[in-house]
């Protein structure tokens, strides 16, 4: 029997508000020593009360609008009850049946095909404290609680189970993250935990409406992990069924080192969260005008920017796609484009700049695990490098060396070129000496050329380049060689 | 003149006239505490030194003339309102050693007036109870008869005022916890409209029902305290941004044009005859004072209020009390083999029986499969009760009922019968369900035991009920009688 894979993703994104969800503590929890960004409210002390962070509501509305959601006129907060030492009040303030936004969708592209994925809801809640588990060798293990993170605004985006493959899941996450980044509401950093993903995955016989047991997968800390975990789970579930066994509804954790999922708890032990309306917060009635105002101020989203890049910079769709998938890359590209002096058209170098960003630059960024905005290469410097190449001041070969140096040291391409004597020689007289010398010392090749063997010219060009340490303009070398050989 | 029996307004006049100093007044109260506390046991903490230093500061403040009627006047605060640097126990083992690093909003406001805090008052553990017998620390005794309960949960606050340990007190009222002990101890106790006073720093029992209010010797004092504690607080999203009037302005003796309803459902079966007689007499007094009385008012959903209350309040409590797990503050069971065992034993030994009973009731009512039948149904009943009051208030300016169906009962009489205990709040619970303001004032005695009358108003009509209560007190002297202790 053939099975279809059914995947739905739940994403938790920390919001980039200055203060926490329900108190005035700084939400920048990671940069401070443990338990220093706390107050009675986020510590869950007796008698304290939550107050809603308006900016967080605004960010959730922005996100919901960008995801084509309907914004609720009436929304409210609820208490989600469960005991755990990282949960200061013994309940999490979340939203149960009246989320900020609902019934949205986003478009993903897989293998060149567009697909609409439905979004169930966008709601707000608060993050929990961080537990640090310690197990000293020979001693008793213990856990420490860092409350800095408790109360940081979290936005949960629940997707419908509309994804059909691990690749679709990956594309969904990439798209969703890029939207959050474009909106400026979250860093979307998965490794740091500011963008978290849980997955629900099941399989169902093709053409059947009923899925088999649904499995929730947790502990995936990168897009790659989500992809691999989904791939593993889809295979595992098929195997269980093929072996004639029954699939059980359960929660499984992704174990990165082993590359497999492991059962954590079955349905019988599922929590009963006993949701009920948060009595400390009156229902929130979202003013239509405010929502419209937020909608009118939404920044340009990836889709629109991609099309603008094609139209404005005459870039191929492929390049525009790659450049705009991350707001950082897109911003970097546009910063390069502001460099040209008035006399130069910005479009002139758009394609070569894009080539550098997509190619060599990306390669080095990946290799060093650096974000483009944290790189030492300024947009100005990259543009100048492209300009040097286009003027013929340096050769392509040299440019690569220069860029590596720029990437390492952050120095300007002009400085590197002059210091290392890499400027390209286009001066005919200077090159002529080397050309004559090469012709003299390579009789065989000269003879071959005259006999009509074309590759011989290439060989001779190579010899001249070598003699000039790669600095000669290959075009000039080519022409000079031909000219001299004809003369003979 | 017995100094510790002065009202706020009397003491303020003397302080202003320099005929009395705050230090003298405070010493009189502290001496009274030494004298009667072994008998009544109203206070969990007595803040002698703090009180005297605050009194000295108050006297300096009095000299500048920049004062409030509460300046320099000793107060006792129920031990569920957070006081910075002073233990706030909620009369529970769980918080016996808890010292808050912050003040409740009401405490901040009182301190802003230069008041003198004489101590923290005993209560039923986490405000759950009607007699203070559920205090995990000790039981408070009624000064009118030491073998009887003072009511609860603000029993310590009511006794402190009745026995002259402080000039006034703050209490909190979730289902009658200010009014019922006020009635049992013959003092004046006001539960303001839900949202009128900030709950910030009030240790939550049932968040949608809790409200802080004053317990005083008369209605004028009640208005003076409300003037200070009422008002919007940005830290409490359920507080209401209405302007706060000067509540003393409404204290006239004119009840003409006021329409008062007497809902028959509040004269319940099993009610003590003397209570009914006393309240009917008090109502006739209101009629004499000019009010129009309708004795035939019906609020048919009243009998369901108790059931709805005992689902909603425990449900909210089950979540509110989840934070006491021994991890962060308060009692922590240390001799455990695992984290879960430590958390469980902390709660097993940290909470008393009544608290655990309510946590279990609430947890059950919110559980999957039971939510609709219990919590949701109770909320619907709540809506009906509210609506019924709204309709009644189309016709009436206030409703009058007994505060409690009986006079104070014996210590130990109802402690093993939770349902009987719950029934002592049958006249006060519906008011919290509807979020209305209500005041209990002394309205007579039966065999030397106090009887309280409850006056209920529309939302944010504290002025109306204070006016009625004040007119009644001007015409009677029940509130001036003192227990002989």
- Give DSSP secondary structure letters for A179-205: HHHHHTS----TTTTSEEEEEEEEEEE
What residues in B contact A85, CB-CB < 8 Å? Answer: 325, 327, 339, 343
Judge whether A474 and A464 are in contact, CB under 8 Å: no
- Is A43 in Cβ contact with B325 (below 8 Å)? no
Q: Provide the pLDDT for residue A339.
A: 77
- Is B316 in Cβ contact with A279 (below 8 Å)? yes
Where do the H-state alpha helices sit in B41-185?
Answer: 48-64, 105-112, 155-162, 179-185
Q: In 3D, which of A56, A48, A140, A35 has the Cα closest to residue A89?
A: A48
Distance of CA A96 to the CA centre of its chain: 29
Q: Provide the pLDDT for residue B12.
A: 97
Q: In 3D, which of B372, B461, B394, B410 has the Cα closest to residue B151?
A: B410
Nearest CA in chain A to B202: A47
Report pTM: 0.90
Q: Provide the pLDDT for residue A434.
A: 82
Q: How far is A148 from chain B (nearest CA, A)?
A: 14
What is the mean predicted confidence (pLDDT) over A73-95?
Answer: 97
Query: Both tokens of residue B18?
Result: 């320099």
Q: How far is B148 from chain A (nearest CA, A)?
A: 31
Distance (Å) of CA B212 to CA A402, B131, B168, B441, B461: 73, 18, 14, 17, 16
Nearest CA in chain B to A80: B319
Q: What percent of chain A has pLDDT over 70?
A: 97
In this complex, is the C-beta atom of A304 within 8 Å of any C-beta atom belonging to chain B? no
- The residues, any chain, with a CB within 8 Å of residue A219's CB and separated by 6 or more, are A253, A254, A255, A256
Residue showing tokens 């800390």: A221
Instruction: Specify the DSSP element, H or E, that contains B284.
Output: helix B273-288
What is the rounded distance in angstroms from the CA atom of residue A234 to the CA atom of residue A221?
Answer: 19
Instruction: Report residue B9: phi and psi, to 5°.
Output: -70, -35
What is the rounded distance in angstroms from the CA atom of residue B378 to the CA atom of residue B361?
Answer: 13
β-bridge pairing A101-110 and A70-71 = antiparallel
Catalytic: B177?
yes
pLDDT tens sequence across B180-217: 999 999 999 999 999 999 999 999 999 999 999 999 99
Q: How far is A96 from chain B (nearest CA, A)?
A: 14
What residues in A contact B202, CB-CB < 8 Å? Answer: 47
In this complex, the residue of A48, A89, A281 whose CB is nearest that of residue B322 is A89
In this complex, the residue of B80, B234, B328 whose CB is nearest that of residue A88 is B328
In this complex, the residue of A45, A85, A279 whose CB is nearest that of residue B208 is A279
DSSP labels, A390-423: HHTSS-HHHHHHHHHHHHHH---HHHHHHHHT-P
Q: Provide the pLDDT for residue B201.
A: 98
Q: Provide the pLDDT for residue A345.
A: 67
User: Rounded to the nearest 10 degrees, how much is the dihedral formed by the CA atoms of A417, A420, A421, A423?
Assistant: -20
- Is A44 in Cβ contact with B237 (below 8 Å)? no
In this complex, the residue of B202, B319, B367 whose CB is nearest that of residue A90 is B319
Q: Provide the pLDDT for residue B150.
A: 98
pLDDT greater than 80 at residue B139: yes
Q: How confident is the model at residue A446 (pLDDT cuts 50, 70, 90)?
A: confident
- Is B325 in Cβ contact with A83 (below 8 Å)? yes
- Is A280 in Cβ contact with B200 (below 8 Å)? no
Q: Provide the pLDDT for residue B133.
A: 98
Catalytic: B153?
yes
In this complex, the residue of A46, A47, A85 whose CB is nearest that of residue B339 is A85
In this complex, is the C-beta atom of A140 within 8 Å of any C-beta atom belonging to chain B? no
- The residues, any chain, with a CB within 8 Å of residue A140's CB and separated by 6 or more, are none
- Report ipTM for this prediction: 0.96
Q: How far is B460 from chain A (nearest CA, A)?
A: 18
3-state secondary structure at position A117: strand
CB count within 10 Å of CB B119 equals 29
pLDDT greater than 80 at residue B443: yes
Q: How confident is the model at residue A268 (pLDDT cuts 50, 70, 90)?
A: low
Q: Provide the pLDDT for residue A208.
A: 85
What is the rounded distance in angstroms from the CA atom of residue B261 to the CA atom of residue B286?
Answer: 11
- Is A272 in Cβ contact with B322 (below 8 Å)? no
Q: Is A422 or A373 the better-scoring residue by pLDDT?
A: A373
- The residues, any chain, with a CB within 8 Å of residue A214's CB and separated by 6 or more, are A200, A201, A202, A249
pLDDT greater than 90 at residue A426: no
3-state secondary structure at position B192: coil
Q: Provide the pLDDT for residue A423.
A: 72
In this complex, is the C-beta atom of A316 within 8 Å of any C-beta atom belonging to chain B? no
What is the average pLDDT score of chain A? Answer: 91
Indicate the DSSP class of residue A149.
G
Residue showing tokens 């012709």: A439
**Category of B337 on φ-ψ map: left (φ > 0), alpha (ψ -120 to 50) or beta:** alpha
Q: Which of A269, A279, A282, A284 to mutate to test the interface with B (most CBs of B within 10 A)?
A: A279
Query: Both tokens of residue A256?
Result: 């990165």
pLDDT greater than 90 at residue A323: yes
Residue showing tokens 């991890």: B327
What is the mean predicted confidence (pLDDT) over B156-177?
Answer: 98
Query: Both tokens of residue B140?
Result: 């408070």
**For residue A360, with 0-12 CB atoms within 10 Å meaning exposed, 13-18 middle and 19 or more buried, which class applies?**
middle
What residues in B contact A51, CB-CB < 8 Å? Answer: 234-235, 237
What is the mean predicted confidence (pLDDT) over A19-36?
Answer: 96
Q: Which of B83, B97, B234, B237 to mutate to test the interface with A (most CBs of A within 10 A)?
A: B237
Instruction: Report residue B428: phi and psi, to 5°.
Output: -100, -30
In this complex, is the C-beta atom of A344 within 8 Å of any C-beta atom belonging to chain B? no
Q: How confident is the model at residue A267 (pLDDT cuts 50, 70, 90)?
A: low
What residues in B contact A283, CB-CB < 8 Å? Answer: none
What is the rounded distance in angstroms from the CA atom of residue A91 to the CA atom of residue A274?
Answer: 10
- Is A46 in Cβ contact with B90 (below 8 Å)? yes
**For residue A455, with 0-12 CB atoms within 10 Å meaning exposed, 13-18 middle and 19 or more buried, which class applies?**
exposed
In this complex, the residue of A43, A143, A280 whose CB is nearest that of residue B207 is A280
Q: Is B114 or A269 the better-scoring residue by pLDDT?
A: B114
What is the mean predicted confidence (pLDDT) over B350-378?
Answer: 96
pLDDT tens sequence across A157-171: 999 999 999 999 999
Q: Provide the pLDDT for residue A342.
A: 61
Judge whether B78 and B114 are in contact, CB under 8 Å: no
Q: Provide the pLDDT for residue B85.
A: 97
In this complex, the residue of B199, B237, B343 whose CB is nearest that of residue A52 is B237
Q: Provide the pLDDT for residue A480.
A: 83
- Is A272 in Cβ contact with B368 (below 8 Å)? yes
Catalytic pick among B177, B404, B440, B461: B177
Q: In 3D, which of B335, B244, B254, B250 has the Cα closest to residue B290?
A: B254
Q: How confident is the model at residue A478 (pLDDT cuts 50, 70, 90)?
A: confident
Q: Is A419 or A9 the better-scoring residue by pLDDT?
A: A9
What is the rounded distance in angstroms from the CA atom of residue B202 to the CA atom of residue A8?
Answer: 43
What is the rounded distance in angstroms from the CA atom of residue A50 to the CA atom of residue A46?
Answer: 12
Q: What percent of chain A has pLDDT over 90?
A: 67
What residues in B contact A79, CB-CB < 8 Å? Answer: 319
Judge whether B153 and B127 are in contact, CB under 8 Å: yes
What residues in B contact A42, CB-CB < 8 Å? Answer: none
Nearest CA in chain A to B208: A279
Catalytic pick among B22, B92, B130, B153: B153
What residues in B contact A90, CB-CB < 8 Å? Answer: 319, 321-325
- Is A43 in Cβ contact with B328 (below 8 Å)? yes
What is the average pLDDT score of chain B? Answer: 97
Indicate the DSSP class of residue B323.
G
pLDDT tens sequence across B407-417: 999 999 999 99
Q: Provide the pLDDT for residue A482.
A: 84
Q: In 3D, which of A105, A18, A26 has the Cα closest to residue A58?
A: A18
- The dihedral through the CA atoms of B360, B365, B370, B374 has a sign that is positive
């Amino acid at each position: 029997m053939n099975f279809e894979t059914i995947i739905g993703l739940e994403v938790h994104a920390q919001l980039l508000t200055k203060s926490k969800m329900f108190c005035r503590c700084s939400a920048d929890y990671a940069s401070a020593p443990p338990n220093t960004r706390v107050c009675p409210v986020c510590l869950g002390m007796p008698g304290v009360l939550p107050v809603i962070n308006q900016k967080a509501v605004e960010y959730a509305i922005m996100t919901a609008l960008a995801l084509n959601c309907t914004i609720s006129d009436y929304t409210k907060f609820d208490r989600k009850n469960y005991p755990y030492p990282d949960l200061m009040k013994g309940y999490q303030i979340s939203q149960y049946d009246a989320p900020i936004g609902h019934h949205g969708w986003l478009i993903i592209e897989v293998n060149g095909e567009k697909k609409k994925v439905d979004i169930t809801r966008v709601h707000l809640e608060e993050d929990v404290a961080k537990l640090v588990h310690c197990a000293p060798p020979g001693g008793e293990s213990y856990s420490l609680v860092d409350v800095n993170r408790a109360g940081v605004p979290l936005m949960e985006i629940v997707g419908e189970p509309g994804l059909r493959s691990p690749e679709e899941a990956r594309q969904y996450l990439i798209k969703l993250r890029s939207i959050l980044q474009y909106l400026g509401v979250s860093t979307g950093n998965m490794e740091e935990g500011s963008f978290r993903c849980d997955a629900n995955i099941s399989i169902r016989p093709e053409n059947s409406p009923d899925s088999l047991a649904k499995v929730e997968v947790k502990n995936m800390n990168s897009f790659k992990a989500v992809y691999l975990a989904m791939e593993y789970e889809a295979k595992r579930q098929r195997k269980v069924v093929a072996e004639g066994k029954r699939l059980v509804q359960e929660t499984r954790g992704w174990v990165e080192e082993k590359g497999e999922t492991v059962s954590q708890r079955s349905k019988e032990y599922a929590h009963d969260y006993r949701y009920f309306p948060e009595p400390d917060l009156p229902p929130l009635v979202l003013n239509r005008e405010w929502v419209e105002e937020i909608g009118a101020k939404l920044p340009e989203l990836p889709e629109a920017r991609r099309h603008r890049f094609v139209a404005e910079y005459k870039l191929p769709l492929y390049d525009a796609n790659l450049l705009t998938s991350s707001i950082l890359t897109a911003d970097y590209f546009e910063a390069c484009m502001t460099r040209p002096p008035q006399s130069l058209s910005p479009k002139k170098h758009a394609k070569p700049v894009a080539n550098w960003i997509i190619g060599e630059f990306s390669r080095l960024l990946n290799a060093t695990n650096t974000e483009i905005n944290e790189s030492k290469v300024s947009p100005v410097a990259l543009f100048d490098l492209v300009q040097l190449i286009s003027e013929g001041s340096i050769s392509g070969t040299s440019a690569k060396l220069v860029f590596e140096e720029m990437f390492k040291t952050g120095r300007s391409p002009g400085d590197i070129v002059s210091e290392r004597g890499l400027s390209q020689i286009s001066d005919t007289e200077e090159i002529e000496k080397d050309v004559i010398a090469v012709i003299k010392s390579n009789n065989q090749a000269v003879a071959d050329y005259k006999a009509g063997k074309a590759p011989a010219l290439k060989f001779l060009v190579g010899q001249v380049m070598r003699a000039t340490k790669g600095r000669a303009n290959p075009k000039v070398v080519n022409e000079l060689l031909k000219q001299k050989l004809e003369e003979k | 003149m017995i100094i510790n029996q002065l009202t706020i307004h009397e003491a303020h006049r003397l302080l202003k006239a320099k005929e009395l100093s705050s230090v003298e007044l405070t010493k009189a109260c502290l001496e009274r505490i030494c004298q009667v506390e072994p008998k009544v046991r109203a206070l969990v903490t007595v803040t002698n030194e703090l009180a005297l230093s605050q009194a000295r500061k108050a006297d300096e403040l009095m000299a500048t003339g920049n004062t409030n009627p509460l300046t320099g006047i000793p107060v006792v605060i129920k031990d569920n309102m957070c006081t910075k640097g002073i233990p706030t126990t909620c009369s529970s083992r769980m918080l016996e050693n808890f010292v808050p690093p912050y003040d409740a909003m009401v405490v901040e406001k009182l301190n802003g007036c230069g008041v003198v805090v004489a101590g923290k008052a005993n209560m039923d553990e986490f405000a759950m109870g009607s007699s203070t017998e559920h205090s995990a620390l000790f039981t408070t005794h009624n000064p009118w008869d030491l073998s009887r309960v003072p009511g609860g949960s603000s029993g310590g606050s009511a006794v402190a005022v009745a026995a002259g340990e402080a000039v006034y007190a703050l209490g909190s009222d979730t289902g009658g916890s200010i009014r019922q002990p006020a009635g049992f101890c013959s003092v004046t106790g006001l539960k303001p409209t839900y949202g009128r006073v900030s709950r910030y720093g009030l240790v939550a029992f049932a968040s949608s029902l809790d409200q802080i209010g004053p317990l005083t010797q008369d209605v004028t004092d009640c208005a003076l305290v409300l003037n200070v504690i009422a008002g919007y607080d940005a830290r409490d999203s359920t507080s209401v941004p209405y302007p706060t009037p000067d509540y003393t302005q409404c204290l006239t003796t004119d009840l003409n044009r006021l329409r008062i309803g007497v809902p028959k459902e509040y004269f319940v079966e099993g009610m003590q005859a003397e209570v009914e007689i006393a309240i009917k007499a008090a109502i006739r007094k209101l009629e004499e004072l000019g009010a129009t009385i309708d004795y035939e008012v019906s609020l048919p959903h009243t009998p369901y209020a108790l059931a709805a209350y005992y689902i909603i309040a425990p449900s909210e409590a089950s979540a509110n009390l989840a934070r006491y797990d021994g991890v962060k503050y308060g009692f922590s069971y240390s001799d455990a083999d695992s984290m879960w065992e430590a958390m469980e034993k902390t709660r097993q030994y940290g909470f008393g029986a009544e608290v655990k009973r309510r946590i279990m009731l609430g947890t059950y009512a919110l559980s999957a499969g039971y939510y609709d039948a219990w919590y949701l149904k109770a909320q619907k009943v709540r809506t009906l009760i509210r609506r019924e009051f709204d309709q009644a208030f189309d016709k009436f300016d206030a409703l009058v009922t007994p505060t409690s169906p009986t006079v104070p009962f014996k210590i130990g009489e109802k402690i093993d019968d939770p349902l009987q205990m719950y029934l002592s709040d049958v006249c006060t619970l519906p008011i919290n369900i509807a979020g209305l303001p209500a005041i209990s004032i002394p309205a007579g005695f039966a065999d030397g035991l106090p009887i309280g009358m409850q006056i209920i108003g529309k939302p944010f009509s504290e002025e109306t009920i204070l006016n009625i209560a004040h007119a009644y007190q001007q015409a009677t002297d029940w509130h001036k009688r003192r227990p002989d202790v």
